[in-house]
Amino acid sequence: MMFRSSVLRVGAAAGLGALLLLPTATAQAHVRVAADNTTAGSFSALTFRVPNESDTAGTVKLSVQLPQDTPFLYVSSKPVPGWRVATTEAPLPKPVESEGTTLTKAVRTVTWTAEKGTRIAPGQYQEFSLQVGPLPSAGTVLLPAAQTYSDGQVVNWDQPTPSSGEEPEHPAPALAVRAAGTGSASVPPTAPAPTPAAPAAGAARPDSLARVLGAAGLALGLVALVVAALGARRRRPGTTA
């Protein structure tokens, strides 16, 4: 009975923990954007992670709005198997100077549409990537997104996060751009490669030394032979002066 009671208590605690974690997990299941470079003036790969929050329908379309007050001069999409991608340009509210170019229109929306038989199923997610640039000055760039489900429901992720920091129900994907020269790790200078010794001079010294030692050894050997020969002659019996 004691074992059964312990099991029930452990099960109840686990169930309560799951209930407590559920709202947090649900709150994290939003359309978000990540960048491989956030430095102002640079080019960056933006990756939108799109989870499916429906229990019965699949996600079949994602549309992302790009900024118009600080438009991107360059926009390129990464192919996603089973999805078609289309970009739509729109006139800018006023001309914008970017990298020495005057822009009067720019890409306004990028839309990924699932082909027949393709969808983001319940419990799954998909990633969609863009290469954009140059990034604007330091600050937060909002990239509102619209997620369309196979049952016709459209969820607009377009709410900015207030200054209080409390996340709204449908927050817009946000890209935090930092100023150039801040927050980047310094690259240690490359140590100069050691100067290799000249192989000819390096090889000549040991070779010359070997020759000198060899010649000295040969001379000593000859002297020893002469001395031995003289000694043997003096000791030879019957030898007269």
What residue segments make up the domains of the chain, in order of their start?
29-177
Lowest mean pLDDT among 77-91, 131-145, 190-204, 211-225: 190-204
Model pLDDT, residue 169: 94
Identity (one letter) of the amino acid at 228?
Answer: A
3 state SS of 28: helix
Residue 179 has pLDDT above 70, yes or no: yes
Model pLDDT, residue 126: 98
Residue 222 has pLDDT above 70, yes or no: no
Q: What percent of the chain has pLDDT over 90?
A: 55
Structure confidence at residue 144 as a pLDDT band (50, 70, 90): very high
First and final C-alpha spacing in the chain: 127
Structure confidence at residue 29 as a pLDDT band (50, 70, 90): confident
Residue 152 has pLDDT above 80, yes or no: yes
Residue 155 has pLDDT above 50, yes or no: yes
Residue 75 has pLDDT above 50, yes or no: yes
Residue range 1-11, pLDDT digits in tens: 544 555 445 44
Model pLDDT, residue 220: 60
> Mean pLDDT over all residues of the chain?
78
Task: Give the Cα separation of 127 and 94 in Å (integer).
Answer: 33
The DSSP string of 173-196 is PEEEEB-TTSSPPPPPPPPPPPPP
Model pLDDT, residue 98: 75
Nearest alpha-carbon partner for 31 in 193, 230, 169: 169
| CATH class held by domain 29-177 | mainly beta
Model pLDDT, residue 9: 52
Exposure string for 35-65, b = 16+ CB within 10 A, e = fewer: beebbbeebbebebebbbbbeebbbbbbbbb
Average pLDDT over residues 207-217: 55
Task: Give the Cα separation of 14 and 20 in Å (integer).
Answer: 10
Nearest alpha-carbon partner for 64 in 86, 41, 91, 79: 86
Instruction: Please tell me what DSSP assigns to residue 151.
Output: T
Q: Which residues contact 28 (CB under 8 A, 6 or more apart)?
A: none
- Residue 107: CB atoms within 10 A of its CB come to 21
Task: Give the Cα separation of 25 and 80 in Å (integer).
Answer: 26
Residue 174 has pLDDT above 80, yes or no: yes
- Residue 236: CB atoms within 10 A of its CB come to 7
Nearest alpha-carbon partner for 83 in 35, 48, 127: 127
Structure confidence at residue 165 as a pLDDT band (50, 70, 90): confident
Residue 182 has pLDDT above 60, yes or no: yes
